[in-house]
Chain A
Amino acid sequence: MWQLNYNIHDLLTVKIQGNGMRDPTRNLRYSYFATADDPAESDIILNIGPFEPSHEGAEVIAHKYYVKENYFYCAEKGSGSNWKIEVFGFETGKTVINFDGRRHGVRGVVFPTFMAQEFLIPFIEYKLAKKNHFLIHGGAVCKDSQGYVVTGRPGVWKTSLLMDFVRTSDYQFLGDDRIILKGDGSMLSFPTSLFLFDFTLNKGKTEERNALDNFRLLVRVLTNKTEAISTGPVVGCKTIKKLLFVSRKTNHAVQTGPVTPQEGLQRLVTNNLAEYVESTKHSPIGQYNSYVQVYSLIFPDNDLLKHSDRMRKGLEGIVMNTPIQEIVLPFEYDQTVFNAFNKDILGQ
């Protein structure tokens, strides 16, 4: 049995416990928030390993979902993975998640608890929003208390863009997958899988990794050389200079365009939701929205349904008071893209 404690900016405490599950890479995902403190009661506890569900007395929906007040359980087979998940405190109070699942293939062997750890994100997002902190899907960099937020759907060169900021202009890094926005226009870092960012930053020009890169990464993970981080992320940033909505197109030039605050707000909310929705079943995080919907069949007035309104209200001030812009990046990313970006968008 192993145990890890995390403290997210003194806003939330998270405990991850492995029960009969060996995992040398267990600390890689949230290492930035690791702490030696062991609180008596964490806000979220994730138990990874075999468990017996306590779903007696639950309503059964579609033969596989079990719902009680503040409780959710299901066992599912996805494409290339399977999982059993039980959540106490699904809606209110402290949350305890029991998770037993595995992904097939190399990733499942090298990172046996990543799938479980990833499933924490929607719970962190929901709990932070109740504390007026808004975890959004996007990255950010900061210099002299002035930051750029780079948001967009996956696979649009967000990480490459952020890495070029760090490499060429001495910006500090806050996160490349998620960051925390606050109503006063400031932000807090939320770096995940820092070793991966660091590896990619030092390895090459873009976020793309070829087979050799992946092999080197694997060696590094297996030999435990994942601690050294050359780009120590900062805790936060006082103001957002610009909120950039990045997308990627099949053509060849960098384009910019306007985004209205309403469009921006709609996109931020959709961008978060789309991470919890999959077209077909692959991972538990992609099923989270379905789980909330199933829960809402039995408890139509539940607090989870108020989350998107909470996000909307909290983010509204930010999109209204921050310059926002759309950036369309080309199919291939290289140095000329960042140069054009630097000139046109940052005016440098």
Chain B
Amino acid sequence: MKKNYSIHDVVKFTIQSENIPERMAIEYANFEKDHINNPDFVVEIGNFVPSKEDCYIVDHTYYIKEGYFYCKDSYKFGKWMIQVSGLESDQTHIKLSTNAVGTLVPDMFICAYVIDFFIRFKFESKGYSVVHASSMSKGGQAFLFPSQSGAGKTSTAIYLVESGYDYLGDDFVILHEGQVLSYPTALNIFAYNLNPAIRENLPAYDRAVLQLKDALYKLTARRIKIFTKMNPKDIPGLNITDASTLKAVYLLAQGDRLEITDAEPDVILNSLAINQKMESYPFFKYLLEYSYVFPNSNIARFWMTCAANLKNNLNSDTKLHNVSVPRQYSREVFEEFREALECGN
């Protein structure tokens, strides 16, 4: 089975696998194409034999040669084997095999750890920035809401849907020369971040499944956390727009009460850059090991390239703000935030 994807005709990729599970298909459903030319990367899922000859071996774990990386890795119940060849070329080939847990929740291992990283890696290599933020737009003007996980990215986006805003993305979006490009991957829904707007529109069956997953999470002492995947298109009233001009950035952080202050560009750039690295595990480590062996490679400069991209892609007249969001992100808090947003504070 083979699926082709194209994101804004900038980054194109192919996933090949005996079968592509639903949880994985839904993740990139909005990018699916019948046909693409010259994919930037191909991910082949299934057992494989690594080409370890003439490799540097690091820590008995990482096998590295020019343009090539191989390792076995694990986290909690998930185990995987990954081989990347053509790492520094226009056509990167990734082979990946996982244990049963990896197949059961491919979105957690295959998507979050590998495919998402390569999408961002290829965008950055072409001068685009991919930022950990939600973004919503009205009248062709976009607001960007970067934050760490759990500080209100998705909630802000969903509340704004109700206020007639168009959707660009709720987890990652793409920045290019002052424009925000949409990145509508599947929403990750868990009982604790369940926005009232979504809850009301969720069928009874889905609501029950959500409760079960929450119970499992508590029963296993917070070891097993399974998100419910939802295509943003399936949320009533949600309209995805392709691109929009970036008007203002509101950097969200958790606080005691709603508070909005002006921010310096360096603070925003620094925060976006740190977030990019923190969202790139385990590849942050993999690239670092590659950089040790090849200190003059583009890979060794990758994070500097990302920082330079951010600087280029954020227009100097974009308004920048810090926002502290209370832990209880109620409709009242949101309404206060929206007022500030709309009068350009």
Contact = CB atoms under 8 A, between A and B. Distances in A.
Interface of A: 59-63, 77, 79, 153-156, 247-251, 262-263, 266-267, 270-271, 273-274, 277-281, 290, 293-294, 296-297, 300, 328, 331
A249 B56 contact: yes
A250 B296 contact: no
A267 B55 contact: no
Contacts of B277: 293
Q: Is the interface of B mostly helix, strand, loop or mixed?
A: mixed
Given A250-B54, A296-B274, A153 B292 contact: yes
A300 B288 contact: no
B218 interface: no
Given A250-B53, A263-B296, A61 B288 contact: no
Given A263-B295, A279-B286, A249 B57 contact: yes
A126 B264 CA distance: 28
Contacts of B254: 59-61
A247 B278 CA distance: 28
B290 to A, nearest CB: 10
Contacts of A331: 57
Interface in B61-116: 61, 63, 71, 73-76
Contacts of B57: 155-156, 248-250, 331
18 contacts: A59-B254, A61-B254, A62-B149, A155-B58, A156-B58, A247-B56, A247-B58, A249-B55, A250-B63, A251-B54, A262-B295, A277-B284, A277-B285, A280-B74, A280-B75, A296-B270, A297-B274, A331-B57
A278 B285 CA distance: 6
Contacts of A296: 270, 274
Task: Give 5 nearest A-B pairs by CB, closest first.
Answer: A279-B282, A280-B75, A266-B295, A279-B285, A154-B59
B196 interface: no
Given A59-B254, A79-B75, A270-B291, A153 B282 contact: no
Interface string B278-304: 100110111011011101100010000
B288 A277 contact: yes
B73 A62 contact: no
Contacts, number: 104
Given A153-B289, A154-B58, A300 B253 contact: no
Contacts of A293: 274, 277-278
B291 A62 contact: no
A248 B56 CA distance: 6
A155 B56 CA distance: 11
Contacts of A278: 285
Contacts of A267: 292, 295
B56 A270 contact: no
B52 interface: yes
B323 to A, nearest CB: 13
A36 to B, nearest CB: 38
Contacts of B61: 155
Nearest to A251: B54
A274 B292 contact: yes
B98 to A, nearest CB: 13
A148 to B, nearest CB: 20
